[in-house]
Amino acid sequence: MIAAMTNANPNIRLDKRDLILTKGSEVMLRRGYHGTGVQEIVQAAGIPKGSFYHYFASKEDFAVHALEFLYAPRLQRYAQALGDRSLSPCQRILTFYGELLNHFRRQERPQYHCFIGSLSFEMAEPSQPIGLQVESILQRSVDILAQCLTEAREAGELNAATDCVELAEFIANAWEGTLMRMKAGANAAPLSVFLHQLERLLTPSP
């Protein structure tokens, strides 16, 4: 009976679940994991508490699904940008990060609210499911970048001896640190430094 009801109108189920994930993640980003209870999540979504437990076993389970809900589309956009065959592999990477830099430069005081960063600092160690989900998302991002760097190496844009996986890890870690510095200082200067050094890394020597 439950399966028949779920399959009969899947859009209603999806819409309500997405609403809970969207509103709940906004609250959790603002108040932190420990500062957010199920009651705050359902109030933000405007639903009864029973509806929350229809979709999620616990607050921890909600956080795991919220990470995937928020970051799967971002990873897809990242993969599309770094798979753009109208640009060379290195140009794809530089264009992607250059556009992000321009986005933050247009803000009077650059702001960056990072759900995955907040959850990582607060819960990656005490919660294995959240920690594993955070690591999975970050690793998928590195894999996308490593694939593009491998194409760059094969196209002669990078030295033939370049370890593309290691380079992707370095760039990804540097980017996360750059965002942290930007958030702390409320200015885009760290991003300019990042992009300048990225250009040096990805521009072949004459």
CA dist 159 and 203 (Å) reads 10
Distance of CA 37 to the CA centre of its chain: 23
Find the Cα–Cα–Cα–Cα dihedral 7, 9, 10, 16, rounded to 10°: -140
On whether the CB atoms of residues 149 and 169 are closer than 8 A, the answer is no
Q: What is the mean pLDDT of residues 122-126?
A: 89
On whether the CB atoms of residues 165 and 146 are closer than 8 A, the answer is yes
CA dist 143 and 48 (Å) reads 40
- pLDDT of residue 14 exceeding 80, the answer is no
pLDDT range class, residue 1, cuts 50, 70, 90: very low
Q: What pLDDT does 4 receive?
A: 26
51 C-beta neighbours (distance < 10 Å), count: 16
- pLDDT of residue 99 exceeding 90, the answer is yes
Query: Of all helices (H) and strands (E), which one includes residue 22?
Result: helix 10-31
Residues in the chain: 206
- pLDDT of residue 9 exceeding 50, the answer is no
* DSSP type of residue 114: -
* DSSP type of residue 205: P
- pLDDT of residue 68 exceeding 60, the answer is yes
Domains of the chain: 1-56 (1.10.10.60), 59-202 (1.10.357.10)
Q: What is the mean pLDDT of residues 108-137?
A: 86
Q: What is the phi/psi pair of residue 57, to 5°?
A: -75, -25
